[in-house]
Chain A
Amino acid sequence: MNPEALLQLDRVIHEKGRLAIMSMLAASPELSFTELRETLQMTDGNLTTHIRTLQEAGYVAVAKSYRNKRRLTTVSMTEAGRAAFAAYLALLERIVREAKPR
Chain B
Amino acid sequence: MEQHVAAEHLQVIRTLMERSALYRRTLAPIMLYAGSVGCVASVGGILLGIDALPAFSIWWLIAALVAIGGSFAIARRQAVEDGEPFWSPPALRVTQALAPPLASGLLLSLGLIAFGGDDLRWVFVLANALFYGCAVHAAGFFMPRGMKLFGWLIIAAACAGVLGRPALGGVATSRPDHALMGGLFGLAHLGYGVYLYATEKRKTSS
Q: Is the interface of B mostly helix, strand, loop or mixed?
A: helix
Inside 8 A of A72's CB, which chain B residues have their CB? 83-85
Residue A19 CB within 8 A of the other chain: yes
Contact with A along B84-101 (1 / 0, CB 8 A): 110011100000000000
Per the CB 8 Å criterion, the residue count for chain B at the interface is 26
Most buried by A among B18, B20, B24: B20
Inside 8 A of B12's CB, which chain A residues have their CB? 19-20, 23
Closest to A91 in B: B6
Interface size class on chain A is: 35 or more
> Do residues A95 and B84 form an inter-chain contact, with CB atoms below 8 A?
no
Residue A70 CB within 8 A of the other chain: yes
Q: Is the interface of A mostly helix, strand, loop or mixed?
A: helix
> Do residues A23 and B5 form an inter-chain contact, with CB atoms below 8 A?
no
Most buried by B among A3, A29, A34: A34
> Do residues B16 and A28 form an inter-chain contact, with CB atoms below 8 A?
no
> Do residues A99 and B20 form an inter-chain contact, with CB atoms below 8 A?
no
B145 to A: closest C-beta gap in Å: 15
> Do residues B89 and A32 form an inter-chain contact, with CB atoms below 8 A?
no
Contact with A along B174-206 (1 / 0, CB 8 A): 000000000000000000000000000001001
Of B6, B16, B83, B84, the contact of A23 (CB 8 Å cutoff): B16
> Do residues A24 and B80 form an inter-chain contact, with CB atoms below 8 A?
no
The chain A residues found within 8 Å of chain B, CB to CB, are 1, 3, 5-6, 14, 19-20, 23-32, 34-35, 37-40, 43-44, 67-68, 70-72, 74, 89, 92-93, 95-96, 98-99
